[in-house]
Structure 1
């Protein structure tokens, strides 16, 4: 599994009403690169503070992206043909940087992260509010539904079950750290059968095929179980 097919425009073009932003205590536009993941107005309950997850493949955590530190690596991953087929962010580093900066400059509805396994950056993730995303125009969503985009960076980490394990771990983190969230969503391209299989293996269910502007997606849903109730 290389990616779950987020396009460059998938996450950011839905306008958030001013009164809704105010409810979450927006403090201005002068935040540092990772401020959206830890500020009081974070719409995703402080991704930066979610902490590590112990998994069968190692200790994993999400580190909010720092442009200078992470963009060169993420850009290299984006130029891998297996990833490029679905993310469409090939080209110089500036292409990836623009994509990441657009999220970091936003209101916190999408937090770009590097997945770090046993101290090694090895994947890219976007944790996003599905109910505030353009996805909500095309399929029913619930308040606080949380979406995942991801790619596994290196070929050595693909096809070994690592992606499935980490998807499950991140879904667990979302449900543990976001008590208002009842579902974790993903929308990989239906052609990306490896990605769909990874989500199924991680406890997601196939809900429907959804026609999005740039792809036909498989809507995958992980429901909060009774034992995971806050």
Structure 2
């Protein structure tokens, strides 16, 4: 995989952009996000700064996994990981097809939530994935307890395929084709 930049403008919320994570420079902000109580499903609650940096160095070196920092109007606001499900996360569990890409995302914790912000983030993530003409379907495996992300996934076209047991969680294996995503876009 090859991390690349992406930008889109949301009419109500402004500019959303993605750029590759710089493991050393971005580790402090990522550490504050992944160790926050709202990021419990990232399973990094007890990580120190060095461990977070090491994890993103590992991702950066992996040819089948990318991490991208999401910016909102130029400021760090979310994280996206993109992976090849034929080589990571779902090997032996999901029969990956050509054109499949796996995804995780995390919105930065905030004390002042903005209505529609997380939906704009997942829309940015999905648009960035489908900007690659080779991507036909996005695959996710959120923890079955993560009800907030299930609602967001459904809103952008994901359908639950089945429940799967992964080493760290029980998850809803879900997929969203390009057509399913576009069908949710309406006049936006």
Q: TM-score range by the shorter chain?
A: 0.7 to 0.9
2:52 equivalent in structure 1 = 96
On the 8 A contact 1:164/1:199 being kept in 2, the answer is: no
Matched residue SS, 1:137: coil
1:22 equivalent in structure 2 = none
Give 1:149 deviation, angstroms.
0.9
Name the structure with the higher strand share.
2
1:131 equivalent in structure 2 = 86
**Counterparts of 1:18-33 in structure 2 under 5 Å?**
none
On the 8 A contact 1:152/1:158 being kept in 2, the answer is: no
Q: Decide whether aligned partners of structure 1 residues 157 and 208 sit closer, same or farther in structure 2, where only a CA change above 3 A counts.
A: farther
TM-score by length of structure 1 reads: 0.72
Specify every segment of 5 or more residues in structure 1 that has no aligned partner in the other structure, as ranges. Answer: 1-42
2:24 equivalent in structure 1 = 68
CA RMSD of aligned residues (A): 2.1
Structure with greater contact order relative to length (CA < 8 Å, sep ≥ 6): 1
**Counterparts of 1:78-227 in structure 2 under 5 Å?**
78-83=34-39, 85-89=40-44, 90-107=46-63, 109-156=64-111, 160-176=115-131, 178-225=132-179
On the 8 A contact 1:171/1:222 being kept in 2, the answer is: no
Give 1:159 deviation, angstroms.
7.5
Give 1:137 deviation, angstroms.
1.3
TM-score by length of structure 2 reads: 0.86
Aligned residues: 180
Matched residue SS, 1:47: coil
